[in-house]
A and B are shown apart, each in its own frame.
Chain A
């Protein structure tokens, strides 16, 4: 019994950390296909505003999601090009446009905390909890919920 509890406590998840605006986010590494520089983005007329466009990544068509818009943040300024985190869902490829990529972090599931109740609804909709790190908080991005555009309306 005791050992079982131990394994639960010891369970860790690896996260790829990214910056969107001034906030640190973490994506479970198992869901991240690759990180790339989005190039030649084609706008899709009449598309929802969160969809930045589509692009060709090694022969695959990738749908790019503007994470700043998705989170209700102001558009990116500055000259540093955006980065994208490649994600696959139901055989389709998506790229989450973020400001920059950080490092890979191993964090114990036990230290994950639920979303604060007063978190912005738009954020709460895509967040899978929070980790307290040294000096900052890391919000866990729930990839499936990020790609579920239907729940944007709630916060809008």
Chain B
């Protein structure tokens, strides 16, 4: 293809893209003469160039479009039809350009249809416009309110110049002489243009690509040199090397800059897409774009272009409702899709949100079951956020009707794959009735990333900073230490249980070595999944150049690539997505407590241990603050009681029963229970395991300290009553706080079908100063209230056979007509359940094991209640 034609194609395609965007804007602001001028100018240039290159089809079309646009300038009212027509003309132009690019000549075809339409509109409008002009006057001709300064050109002149310049080019080549009076103006304009032109040049993308590779190599070599010089203290290379280093850094930045493009380039087509979609779907849609000038690497830009378009289409199609539905929901008829981009650290965050109907959780859930992504039971137990995640699964599309817009089952999974590929993450948040919002986090550039260099099993690895949330130093006997549940390591981090993964074990290196208690935990986040990666050491962060893995090694999902470090060694780059997948596949313990609660309504994590007898004993894990193994030499005997110095306090030790012996050598396993700053250690023989099971106490027990017996993982297990042991440690455990006489007058009705929870909570509530009446069924509770029983507060479970908590709350409301505060006690804390609860009349929602939260909620509501009464 000859250079002239190639340049023409690039330029014209770009111009047409701009015209596309401008036209949509123009339709919204028909009085903005500036936009119109811009469109006019672009179309005019295209026309002129086509004439010059001998492309009659293009020229005729552009000419017809220009004529119509000229009429707009003359004050013809701008109609949707007219704009649509011009837009389809532009589409036709693009088609022809496509053909031109392939065959280097205009494809055959007739454009009489479009040209006819364009002319008809232009002629028809001309008559209208004349009428309008005489009455309303024209807005479009801009009149300069001051005299022209030297060198300035009047608008008229300028316009004429535009008309002439394009035609003038052939004049020069053909050796014809243009009329002199025109020539002057044209030259003026040409001068302005050339000044702009000389400030930017077109560079082949491949050339930039090569440049980037070279710079990457340079960075590596620089790093190697720095490493060498570091080893030689008084090297004379030091100063020049420092200079080289800073020049390299600047060069790197400079080259990166040449590759940067505003994200607006990827958005350019969206206004048109949305406009056409709105027409097709009969919706009113406003596209709100922020941060279009946010820059990112063109390689990344290319990769997210399609996903972005797809997501915006999705929002328009699935997200937003039709105007009448919106009206019915008290929303403005016009739906809004908001697109925003901004920088954060070395990353760019793109958000796509709409104010539509939100994701349909139930539908997704059903579909997930249908597709076999989850069993029905699993799906039921999942939180909304978990369910929403399914939209990223392959072949997932819930659109009941497959429209031409979206819903072909190649949707969000493709989006997610594309984003995964560039090391980014995507997350979704959705509120029913209020809309959904997708957040994409991607690195600014792919070639060079900032990574944390860590050590595990004697080898170094790089972890991309993108997914690193924080670093925690784990040390035995410190606040942050690695605890073990059976063999699964976990970390308590700000009241959350963080699943840990030993990098050594994950990569099967340094096996046989004991897993160290001291190490660093790289808290890593992938999507909404957080976990800790335990490493032996952390070195520093380094800008690394990502090199793809050898094809022979690409199947290892733990690595996303490799790189050469400053010292010349090759190391692997860890892929957090790969790790996240293994964490996800690990046993349920690896999930956060909250998720587990949501998942397993009646499933309880139980700590199984042995004490005194070979028969296993168990206690709900959530009641246990910590598991300890303490050095027996630290156990002191005072006044017949065993004590140990623990975290700066003396902690009494209590034996589960008399058969348990407090060891005198080695280490002593303890279950530590803490409450309000006091701790007690329960002495056991052996901590066996942590299991998830339903807790069904089948045989009650009168033995002190035992609630009863239950079958746990197929074995009869004694369930111990923590409430029994607490007063053994501190006689006043239940009496010391909030125990005023006034408090005692407060009565509380506890409704829970599980004997275990009734037994568990009663002492706690009593301790907080309530007179507790515990019943097993809502019907019993209602009967008591009907009989005239007066309670200051009701605490009720939600999931109960027969009547559930919501129904109970509604019934109590109906019964008394007054506002007894009712507090829901539930393992389900999804937003939907919360909302349902609030509607039913629950004052507060407390997670089942959150004793402190329960006490706080009780205090708050009873104070209000007492005050109100």
Contacts and interface: CB of A to CB of B under 8 A. Distances in A.
Interface of A: 40, 42-48, 51, 54-56, 59, 61, 63, 90, 92, 94, 147, 149
A61 B570 contact: yes
Contacts of A51: 552-553
A63 B550 CA distance: 7
B478 to A, nearest CB: 29
12 contacts: A44-B553, A44-B559, A45-B558, A47-B553, A47-B556, A48-B552, A51-B552, A59-B564, A61-B564, A63-B550, A63-B553, A92-B550
A63 B554 CA distance: 12
B570 A56 contact: yes
A98 to B, nearest CB: 18
B217 interface: yes
A43 B559 CA distance: 13
Interface string B660-677: 000000000000000000
Contact of B570 (A48, A54, A92): A54
A51 B551 CA distance: 12
B828 interface: no
Given A40-B569, A45-B558, A54 B550 contact: yes
A46 B508 contact: yes
B248 to A, nearest CB: 15
B51 to A, nearest CB: 46
B558 A46 contact: yes
Interface string B191-211: 000000000000000000000
B329 interface: no
A54 B562 contact: yes
Contacts of B217: 59
A55 B562 CA distance: 10
Given A43-B459, A45-B508, A45-B558, A56 B553 contact: no
What 5 A-B pairs have minimum CB-CB distances, sorted nearest first? A45-B507, A63-B550, A42-B570, A54-B570, A46-B556
Given A40-B569, A48-B552, A92-B550, A56 B509 contact: no
Contacts of A94: 550
A54 B547 CA distance: 12
A45 B572 contact: yes
A48 B217 CA distance: 29
Nearest to A63: B550
Interface string B580-608: 00000000000000000000000000000
Contacts of A61: 547, 550, 562, 564, 570
B572 A59 contact: no
Contacts of A47: 552-553, 556
Contacts of B507: 45-46
B568 interface: yes
A58 to B, nearest CB: 10
A151 to B, nearest CB: 13
Given A61-B564, A63-B553, A149-B552, 13 more contacts: A42-B569, A42-B570, A45-B459, A45-B572, A46-B508, A46-B558, A47-B553, A51-B552, A54-B562, A56-B564, A59-B217, A61-B562, A63-B550
B568 A44 contact: no
Contact of A56 (B550, B559, B569): B569
A45 B509 contact: yes
A97 B700 CA distance: 70
Contacts of B220: 59
B571 A42 contact: yes
Contacts of A56: 564, 568-570
Nearest to A39: B568
B221 interface: yes
Could you say which of A44, A51, A92 has the most chain B C-beta atoms within 10 Å of its C-beta? Answer: A44
Contacts of A59: 217, 220-221, 564
A45 to B, nearest CB: 4
Interface string B508-539: 11000000000000000000000000000000
A46 B552 CA distance: 12
A68 to B, nearest CB: 17
B849 to A, nearest CB: 38
Contacts of B564: 56, 59, 61
Contacts of B562: 54, 61
Contacts of B572: 42, 44-45
A90 B551 contact: yes
Contacts of A147: 552
Interface in B539-561: 547, 550-553, 556, 558-559
A45 B562 CA distance: 12
Nearest to B547: A61
Interface string B208-232: 0000000001001100000000000
A105 to B, nearest CB: 29
Contacts of A55: 570
A92 B562 CA distance: 13
Contacts of B568: 40, 56
Contacts of A42: 459, 569-572
Nearest to B561: A61
Contacts of B570: 40, 42, 54-56, 61
Nearest to A147: B552
Nearest to B503: A45
B738 to A, nearest CB: 55
A92 B550 CA distance: 7
Nearest to A55: B570
A48 B569 CA distance: 21
A32 to B, nearest CB: 19
A111 to B, nearest CB: 33
Could you say which of B507, B550, B562 has the most chain A C-beta atoms within 10 Å of its C-beta? Answer: B550
Could you say which of B553, B570, B571, B572 has the most chain A C-beta atoms within 10 Å of its C-beta? Answer: B570
A124 B370 CA distance: 49
B525 to A, nearest CB: 23
Contacts of A43: 459, 509
A55 B217 CA distance: 16
A60 B572 CA distance: 14
Contacts of B553: 44, 47, 51, 54, 63
A44 B556 contact: yes
Nearest to A89: B551
A51 B552 CA distance: 9
Contacts of B551: 90, 92
Could you say which of A45, A54, A55, A92 has the most chain B C-beta atoms within 10 Å of its C-beta? Answer: A45
Contacts of B550: 54, 61, 63, 92, 94
A147 B551 CA distance: 10
Contacts of B552: 47-48, 51, 63, 147, 149
Nearest to B571: A42
Nearest to A92: B550
Contacts of B569: 40, 42, 56
Contacts of B556: 44-47
A55 B550 CA distance: 12
Nearest to B572: A44
Could you say which of A51, A59, A94, A149 has the most chain B C-beta atoms within 10 Å of its C-beta? Answer: A59
A56 B551 CA distance: 17
Nearest to A46: B556
A44 B562 CA distance: 10
A138 to B, nearest CB: 26
Contacts of B558: 45-46
B183 to A, nearest CB: 56
A147 to B, nearest CB: 7
A46 B554 CA distance: 11
A156 to B, nearest CB: 16
A109 B339 CA distance: 67
Interface string B560-578: 0010100011111000000
A40 B459 CA distance: 12
A94 B571 CA distance: 16
